[in-house]
Amino acid sequence: MLTAEHIRAYDRDGFVLVPNVFTPEEVEILQANAGRERRDGTVHNVTDSGGRMSKLAAWTDIAEDVFGAVTASPRIVSAAQLLLREEIYHWHSKLSIKQPRAGAAWEWHQDYGYWYNDGCLYPNMISCMVALDPSTRENGCLKVVAGSHLLGRCDHGRVASQTGADPERLATVLERLPVQYCEAAPGSVLFFHCNTFHSSEPNLSEKPRRAFICCYNALSNLPYGGKGHGKPEPIRQAPDDAILRFEASVGTPA
């Protein structure tokens, strides 16, 4: 799936957007399941500095469900391993839902800004964001700072109920490096380095902006002191048609 140019872009910019990773039929199944709570206690309301709210569900296991099929998909796992150049394990996955006209902004941050505190010594970690809806500037698509993964980790603190980058250092970063909006069609996947600065603006549109994010750590980068997320074991990759099999076995929810 990944080309040599994709890998060069990721190394240079700290991210790469790959279209058409999942088919329209697969995306339709994911959309139909995105409104269902995966289990009790996983859905959280997250507010931004303006008081707007988004929903976030997160978990650390790879369940026998449609989103587990994505997390263990060979299209995702193999690509992530190519970009990190080593075997990976599942760190956590999350479903981000920005409601129409109300979905919160996400403050500028690096994922390693707080994963560092989970005991990971190296920034050998990656996030893979699957667009479930058209992701546009109007509905608050992700935006990234190209090349910022080469700066190293920045200090982070609390911004509303979120974790945000140090404002003074961030201001200088935004002066010196370009910001790119990652508009994407459903089924596209944005792969980005854990030190890449990223954020998003509020959803000002009439439609939701939903995204599923799978995060992985290198097996050589196990956190110390019993901290961290997920089980540090190789991922048993799902069949490539696992999403379609799931729909056929249980049916798409009404």
Render pLDDT for 73-121 as a digit per residue (tens, 0 to 9): 999 999 999 999 999 999 999 999 988 987 778 889 999 999 999 999 9
- What DSSP element (H or E) covers 170? helix 167-176
30/211 Cα distance (integer angstroms): 10
Say which amino acid occupies 100: P
pLDDT digits (tens, 9 = 90+) for 99-111: 898 777 888 999 9
- Per-residue confidence (pLDDT) for residue 254, from 0 to 100: 46
CATH of the domain at 112: 2.60.120.620
pLDDT at residue 34 greater than cutoff 80: yes
In a domain, 121, yes or no: yes
In a domain, 59, yes or no: yes
Q: What is the tally of structural domains in the chain? A: 1
Beta-carbon count within 10 A of 223 CB: 19
Cβ atoms of residues 44 and 58 within 8 Å: yes
In a domain, 40, yes or no: no
- Per-residue confidence (pLDDT) for residue 247, from 0 to 100: 83
- Per-residue confidence (pLDDT) for residue 40, from 0 to 100: 45
In a domain, 16, yes or no: yes
The arithmetic mean of pLDDT across residues 5-11, rounded, is: 98
Residue environment code for 6-44, b if the CB has 16+ CB neighbours within 10 A, otherwise e:
bbebbeebbbbbbeebbeeebbbbbeebbeeebeeeeee
pLDDT digits (tens, 9 = 90+) for 112-164: 999 999 999 999 999 999 999 999 999 999 999 999 999 999 999 877 677 78
In a domain, 166, yes or no: yes
In a domain, 38, yes or no: no
2/118 Cα distance (integer angstroms): 30
In a domain, 39, yes or no: no
- 80 lies in which domain range? 4-33+48-250
In a domain, 146, yes or no: yes
- Per-residue confidence (pLDDT) for residue 111, from 0 to 100: 95
- pTM, full prediction: 0.93
